[in-house]
Amino acid sequence: MPTGRFRRHPFARYRFSRRCSSTELRPNPGPPFTRSRGPFVCHGSGLTDACTAAPCRPAVGHTGRMHGESLAHMIRRLRIAKRWSQQRLAVEICRAVGMPVDSLTRGDIYRYEKGKRTPRDWLPALALALGVPLEEFEAALATQSVAPQTVDDFLPEGEPLAPLKTKQGRRVGMGDVEGLAGRIHGLRLADDVLAGGDLIGPALRELRSAVKLYREGSHTDEIGNALLCQIGELAQITGFIAADAGRQDEAQRIYQLGLSAAKQANAETLVGNLAGSLAYMWSNNGEAVKAVQIATAGLTDDAPPKARALALDRLAWAHTQAHEPQPAMRALAQAREALDESDGEESPPYLYWVSHDELTVMESRVYTELHKPLRAVPILQRVLSRYDVTRTRELALYSSWLAIAYADANEPEESAATAARVIAMSGDIASERITERIQTVVERLQEFASVPEVREVLEAVA
């Protein structure tokens, strides 16, 4: 469990200790700001060059704008100086102008501090909350970098996969296809340990390059089909990355691009995988009925067993979000049967991560959503105890369902301890899904606000 004294999450002022079966939050006795990473050492009074020990820039608590400072950096610096969590700043901004305290969320502040969104309408309220003249923020806004590029900036207008009538590009061979396949798999492996906000830029650039290679390059029909398959695979992981970064509209268009490529290549298994990915996103966005429809359409009897298991897994989740428990349980059972048949069977490389443990996690999430904590808790405990700790995002996400299951089982102390771990793990992860899950857990804990362990967690994120 993290014990460092400088973290970018609401529990930075706490250390975690294990006592019996629960985690206890205690005030960290160390100095309020100490950081050893990077070339600077930060103490409460200011930043010092670690080599020369000479002051090199204004203190973190400096309330004016630093020369050349962007708005995103300024917001984060001033928040840290007040020792406020992102959730606390969101509340204070709303209070400053008499708005309901849920008008802004922790996720909004996260995006402001990352430069992913500009708080133009909220700038006066932000200035009031942080006690800084509005002119200072306006000056910082002038230096803010341009908004993140979208998929429209990376793809040609019209039909992106329409080959050019006159091709001027170089000859494309199987070596190019294999090189692209290797880079796509590298992106998948990066997604195992990094969040969508960190990967969306590289993923979109790779997608642009792949589409350009197909449209402008000179290739045989066989190579063209192979390129289309790789574009479909790339669209699947890029869409997932975009969804994780909170860019749902982008993700939908990327998935649809992938579906178009896979259909042109007659790659039915890949079509099913993309349909399942889109269904999963829709399930999580309140469009469960559409999710059930596309997940069902993506099922094919002749798909490899592991591919069919994943498709049924996605269908089970869609049924769960559509409040259809019996179809959800049937789909889970069928997914388990399909996965049992996959031993010794060849599967597409993009299904490398599909395993019995991952299917078990989905099963426990379904039980949690159906309010069956006595089934969900032991399954989640068992799987999480052996889960790969380097996959921090998934570990935090899956643990959030354990926190909910504990609350449903009337175990608020364990729920609070698990929630604390989730928040601690997710402090530096640029994932909109985690932000939303933390908010869900915090809302669920409100019912137990009178329990000391729960109250301590709620106060820490207030």
Tell me which H or E stretch contains 123.
helix 123-130
Higher pLDDT, 408 or 28: 408
In a domain, 387, yes or no: no
In a domain, 448, yes or no: no
Q: Which two tokens stand for residue 77?
A: 């610096």
Average pLDDT score over residue span 264-288: 95
Go through 96-135 and write b for each residue having 16 or more CB atoms within 10 A of its CB, e for each that does not.
beeeeeeebbbbbbbbbbebbbbbeebbebbbebbebeee
In a domain, 83, yes or no: yes
Model pLDDT, residue 101: 84
State how far the Cα of 16 lies from the Cα of 392, in Å rounded to an integer. 17
Going from the C-alpha of 39 to that of each of 2, 34, 42, 53, 219, the distances in angstroms are 22, 13, 10, 11, 50
116, 160: one domain = no
Q: Tell me the residue range of the domain where 224 lies.
A: 148-266
% of the chain at pLDDT higher than 90: 56
CB atoms within 10 A of CB 181: 17
Q: Write out pLDDT tens, residues 170-200.
A: 789 999 999 999 999 999 999 998 899 889 9
State how far the Cα of 11 lies from the Cα of 91, in Å rounded to an integer. 17
> Which has the minimum average pLDDT: 56-60, 290-294, 397-401, 430-434?
56-60
> Of 83, 110, 142, which closes a domain?
142
73, 128: one domain = yes
| pLDDT confidence tier of residue 70, bands split at 50, 70 and 90 | confident
Q: Write out pLDDT tens, residues 104-145.
A: 888 889 888 877 778 878 899 999 999 989 988 888 887 655
CA atoms within 13 A on the CB side of 16: 21
In a domain, 445, yes or no: no
> Of 90, 111, 142, which closes a domain?
142
Q: Write out pLDDT tens, residues 432-444.
A: 899 899 999 999 9
Would you say 229 and 174 are in contact if contact means Cβ atoms under 8 Å apart? no
Would you say 58 and 42 are in contact if contact means Cβ atoms under 8 Å apart? no
175, 254: one domain = yes
- Residue 37's DSSP bridge partners are none
Looking at 265-411, list the stretches that DSSP marks H as alpha helix, in order from N- to C-terminal side.
Answer: 268-284, 288-297, 305-321, 325-340, 356-369, 373-385, 392-408
22, 137: one domain = yes
In a domain, 125, yes or no: yes
32, 137: one domain = yes
State how far the Cα of 347 lies from the Cα of 36, in Å rounded to an integer. 45
66, 152: one domain = no
51, 160: one domain = no
117, 171: one domain = no
% of the chain at pLDDT higher than 70: 79
| pLDDT confidence tier of residue 163, bands split at 50, 70 and 90 | low
Q: For the residues of 226-285, what is the DSSP string, one character each?
A: HHHHHHHHHHHHHHHHHHHTT-HHHHHHHHHHHHHHHHHTT-HHHHHHHHHHHHHHHHHT
Considering its fold, how many domains does the chain have in total? 2
Cα distance between the two ends of the chain: 22
State how far the Cα of 385 lies from the Cα of 426, in Å rounded to an integer. 18
Would you say 370 and 325 are in contact if contact means Cβ atoms under 8 Å apart? yes
Higher pLDDT, 237 or 65: 237
Question: Which residue, 73, 74, 71, is CA-closest to 63?
Answer: 74
208, 223: one domain = yes
Q: Which residues contact 443 (CB under 8 A, 6 or more apart)?
A: none
pLDDT higher than threshold 60 for residue 146: no
In a domain, 249, yes or no: yes
Q: Write out pLDDT tens, residues 197-247.
A: 889 999 999 999 999 999 888 899 999 999 999 999 999 999 999 999 989
Average pLDDT score over residue span 156-160: 57
Would you say 313 and 364 are in contact if contact means Cβ atoms under 8 Å apart? no
Edge to edge, the sheet with strand 46-49 lists 40-43, 46-49, 55-57
| pLDDT confidence tier of residue 57, bands split at 50, 70 and 90 | very low
- Region at 337 (left for phi over 0; alpha for psi -120 to 50; beta for the rest): alpha
State how far the Cα of 358 lies from the Cα of 384, in Å rounded to an integer. 10
In a domain, 396, yes or no: no
**AA letter at 100:** P
174, 202: one domain = yes
CB atoms within 10 A of CB 74: 24
pTM comes to 0.68
Model pLDDT, residue 106: 85
State how far the Cα of 19 lies from the Cα of 384, in Å rounded to an integer. 19
**CATH number of the domain that residue 135 is part of:** 1.10.260.40
154, 137: one domain = no
> Of 235, 266, 297, which closes a domain?
266
Would you say 426 and 87 are in contact if contact means Cβ atoms under 8 Å apart? no
φ, ψ at 50 (rounded to 5°):
-65, -25
Model pLDDT, residue 130: 92
In a domain, 201, yes or no: yes
| pLDDT confidence tier of residue 158, bands split at 50, 70 and 90 | low
Q: Which two tokens stand for residue 180?
A: 């692209």
pLDDT higher than threshold 80 for residue 399: yes
123, 96: one domain = yes
Average pLDDT score over residue span 25-33: 35
- Tokens 């990355």 appear where? 241
pLDDT higher than threshold 80 for residue 20: no
Model pLDDT, residue 444: 96
Q: Write out pLDDT tens, residues 350-387.
A: 999 999 999 999 999 999 999 999 999 999 999 999 99
State how far the Cα of 243 lies from the Cα of 363, in Å rounded to an integer. 22
